[in-house]
Amino acid sequence: AQRVTQPEKLLSVFKGAPVELKCNYSYSGSPELFWYVQYSRQRLQLLLRHISRESIKGFTADLNKGETSFHLKKPFAQEEDSAMYYCALYTGGFKTIFGAGTRLFVKA
Amino acid sequence: NAGVTQTPKFRVLKTGQSMTLLCAQDMNHEYMYWYRQDPGMGLRLIHYSVGEGTTAKGEVPDGYNVSRLKKQNFLLGLESAAPSQTSVYFCASSYEQYNEQFFGPGTRLTVL
């Protein structure tokens, strides 16, 4: 079955600490993976996608096909990173599967 | 550019009432989507459209209908609302099906 799992509903870290938001997927094809973010009182927006292999706002995500993971990482968390993060998997046929989301809270 | 807009932002319905949610985008995107988001779950696709005059069912289409009479608008209708349709509804659009989706601010619907 095609599935996206974000095991942590809430992740709380101190400012300046490293952060890793986990995402695991189940898909037999070649995955197209995305991270979306929703800041407080803002709409859901794309943070990054694996195919672009870029760093956005200090965040990176590496696709690990062996472990079927696409974890989002940032070496030094900032308070403004506090938000809801969603991992998403495009499976073709206009279907994108979203994980349940992880709320990141960065404490001062 | 407004991007993707949704009307209304909030609505409370009684069981059996009907309503239409309006989504509009000004980015000339071909692809538009309606999702619902329930607590503890990811967004689930209700219906989508690949262009003006076309619609198709997504993952959870029952109880909903859609129309795309104009390229920039995608309407989601509830003919007879049920409490199970209490949710936050998001509209999105994209240039290509595999590209970034641009989301509206959401509509919070409560069915009593």
- Residue B1 reports pLDDT greater than 80: no
Q: Are A100 and A85 in contact (CB under 8 A)?
A: no
Average pLDDT over residues A71-98: 93
Q: Are B103 and A45 in contact (CB under 8 A)?
A: yes
Distance CA A7, CA B67 (A): 36
CA atoms within 13 A on the CB side of A13: 23
Which DSSP category does A99 fall into? P
Chain position carrying tokens 């076309």:
B54
Per-residue pLDDT tens over the stretch B31-52: 999 999 998 888 999 999 999 9
DSSP string, A40-57: TTS--EEEEEGGG---BT
Q: Which residues of B88-103 are buried (b: 16+ CB within 10 A; e: fewer)?
A: ebbbbbbeebbebbbb
Which DSSP category does B61 fall into? -
Per-residue pLDDT tens over the stretch B13-28: 999 999 999 999 999 9
A94/B42 Cβ within 8 A: no
For residue B45, give the amino acid letter: L
Q: Are A17 and A70 in contact (CB under 8 A)?
A: no
E strands of B4-106, at which residues?
4-7, 10-13, 19-25, 31-37, 44-49, 56-57, 65-67, 73-78, 87-94, 102-103
H or E element, residue A60: strand A60-64
Scanning every residue of chain A, which has its alpha carbon at the shortest distance from the alpha carbon of B38? A100
Q: Which chain B residues have any C-beta within 8 angstroms of a chain A C-beta? A: 4, 31, 33, 35, 40-45, 48, 50, 56, 58-59, 90, 97-98, 100-106
Count helices and strands in chain B by DSSP H and E runs? 0, 11
Phi, psi of A80 (to 5 degrees): -70, -5
Q: What is the pLDDT of residue A29?
A: 86
Average pLDDT over residues A49-75: 90
Probe site for chain A from B1, B60, B101, B107 (most A CB atoms < 10 A): B101
